[in-house]
Amino acid sequence: MWQTLTSEILCQIFVCAINYAPFLILEPHLFPWHLGHICSAWRNAFISFPEIWTYFVIDFAQHWMASLQRIQISLEMVQLCLDRSKGCPIRFMFMDHWRLDRAESDRPKIQLYFEILWTLAIHSTRWKHAHFRTKPTFQC
């Protein structure tokens, strides 16, 4: 029965399940991944429906002690959203409270942090709404 639903109905189910909430990049476990695990038809629709992937939040303000691995996963999640949104306009928020004068041991984290920013900048022509909130001392 589930396999026979049209892609239009599946897309409406996805929209209702997500409720127009953003994908929280640093908390991917809160995203309804289970919708893509029901069957292959649902997985294909879930992956190929770009509207699911066009709104995301990267909140380092709430996760300022994120591990290097978590920041790497965040970069991968941003890439996933950009790829699966298939050129559609994107909306995102980027928030941080990082101090860039941190210890030398944090250099790999800072490099990934800027890689996320660079990845977003590459897609700037797709920005429908981009909100950046940083500390006043943020300097490039």
59-109 pLDDT, tens digit each? 987 766 778 898 999 999 999 999 999 999 999 999 987 665 566 667 888
> In the sheet where 55-59 sits, what is the strand order?
23-24, 55-59, 90-95, 127-133
Residue 119: count other Cβ atoms within 10 Å of its Cβ. Answer: 13
Would you say residue 139 has pLDDT above 60?
no
Q: Which residue has the tokens 């990082």?
A: 98
**In whole angstroms, what is the distance from residue 124 CA to residue 102 CA?**
28
pTM of the model: 0.85
Q: What are the phi and psi torsion angles at 55 (to 5°)?
A: -130, 115
